[in-house]
Amino acid sequence: MIRRLDLASLSAAERRALLSRSAVPNNDVLGHAAAIVEDVRRRGDIALAEAGRNYGGGRNGTARLPTAEIAACADRVDSALVAALRDAAYNVAAVCRDQRPNDCTVEVRPGVRVSRCWTPLRRVGCYVPGGTAPLPSTLIMTVVPAQVAGVRSIAVATPARPNGAVADVTLAAAALLGIKEVYAMGGAQAIGALAYGTETVEPVDKIVGPGNAWVTAAKLAVAGSCAIDMPAGPSEALVLADASADPVFVAADLLAQAEHGPDSQVLLVTADSAVADRVVAEAMRQLQQLSRREVVEQALAGHGLVAVAHDLEEALAFADAYAPEHLTIHLADPEAAVERVTSAGSVFVGAWAPEPVGDYASGANHVLPTGGLACSTGPLSVEDFGSWRQVQRLTREGLAALRPVVQQIATAEGLDAHLAAVEVRFDGEGAGE
């Protein structure tokens, strides 16, 4: 069921092909999602409702849920679950509080000061998937950093189930966090409504949150008009293991990630063939007990991989080149491996750090880069909910000191107006005076 290969036997072209992937959906999905988004931009609520009926995720009437309906869900959900959601939100907030950027000022030279200033965004939209399972954890992961950042207006969009209702547990999480603006809408049409607004949905400055290929494609389609966090594609996990690893733990970690959906990517990388054999056998045993067995089987058959490296050095190099969304390290010396990691969305170190704890409880964010983007993009954080600006303050003496630099570069570029904007301030004076 799980494809297996020997890394050392791969040609350079085969290795590139293995590493080459993208969080961006195929061109057909990109085109269709862009058309849906454009229709919502032009026709507003009518197009939003039609798309909800045609593609799912909507409900009869207005998409916005009454605040009383949101508040009531907190009472319908088991108190132990509410307590768990509260603990998860507390932990995320604890991590986020240390992420808020600090302003700074640099005096480049006497009379020339440049400041870097950060302020929270005015309004954001948090997309919370709910197609195959409710995800209150994603609501927490997107809303809490926005709140810590100081965003005053937060809208949540999440798909309704076929009966038109949004899962109680998702709305309970919203109520717990004081969110009163929730829309029952999903897919590309939800992204279009958040980005451009409709008669009943106020547009946002930025859209955050994971989603399926249609959501990702729609985020890319609106990116020129509305900021997005990242194009997060299918979920993925890479596990590094050696002979010290417990195959029961390793197999469980792989299956947990495959459970997300049939397009989930799971990789085991090891320099020990015997480890690979034990983990695969254990995964097949555990698979029989899973309620989402069919989904996991599809993920393993379509996107599962066991890669056997020549040695640990090759295994580490491959893992870093792959830049996985989740990287779990089951090695005798995990900390030495962590020091080598430069490209991964979220890293789980050792036998007692299973990936699901990062999805729910550790305080780390589970909105992460996929498709190899972890080589240049990090997890969703407080900084994503604000914007930076530069502020420059110059005295006459400071400008005079920089005048020769502007004269030389503006002249070389042939931009006379640039030069004149400086020179006019020194009319009647000699160059450099």
**CATH number where 93 lies:** 3.40.50.1980
Quote the crossing angle between the two packed helices 213-222 and 27-43, to the nearest 10°.
60
98 in any annotated domain: yes
Mean pLDDT of 204-229: 95
Domain membership of residue 216 as a residue range: 27-229
pLDDT at 131 over 80: no
Closest CA to 94 of 364, 345, 347: 364
Same domain, 217 and 141: yes
Active site residue 433: no
Task: Specify whether 184 is located in the same domain as 86.
Answer: yes
d(CA 284, CA 260): 17
Residue 374: inside a domain: no
- pTM as predicted: 0.93
Burial per residue of 61-78, b for 16 or more beta-carbon CB atoms within 10 angstroms, e otherwise:
ebbebeeeebeebbeebe
62 and 112 inside one domain: yes
Provide, rounded to the nearest whole percent, the portion of the chain with pLDDT above 90. Answer: 90
Q: Which of 260, 325, 355, 366 is catalytic?
A: 325
Q: What is the pLDDT of residue 109?
A: 96
Residues 98 and 116 in one domain: yes
Please state, as a whole number, how many other Cβ atoms lie within 10 Å of the Cβ of residue 255.
Answer: 23
Pair (325, 266) in one structural domain: yes
Verify that 261 and 350 share a domain, yes or no: yes
Q: Is residue 373 part of a domain?
A: no
CA distance 330 to 348: 9
Q: Which of 390, 361, 62 is nearest to 199 (CA)?
A: 62
- Are residues 73 and 170 located together in one domain of the fold? yes
Amino acid 21: pLDDT: 87
- As a whole number, mean pLDDT of residues 141-150 equals 98
Counting the structural domains of the chain, the total is 3
Does residue 18 form part of some domain? yes
Alpha helix ranges (H) inside 115-167: 136-149
Identify the pLDDT of residue 38: 98
pLDDT of 1 strictly over 80? no
Do 320 and 303 have their domain in common? yes
Helices 273-287 and 247-258: crossing angle in degrees, nearest 10, is: 60
CA distances from 212 to 112, 207, 381 (A): 48, 15, 21
Nearest-angstrom CA–CA distance, 412 and 312: 53
Question: Domain boundary at 229, 258, 275, which?
Answer: 229
Q: Which of 236, 260, 303, 326 is catalytic?
A: 326
pLDDT bracket for residue 429 (50, 70, 90): low
Is 14 tagged catalytic? no
pLDDT at 430: 54
Share the mean pLDDT of the chain. 95
Within a domain: 247: yes
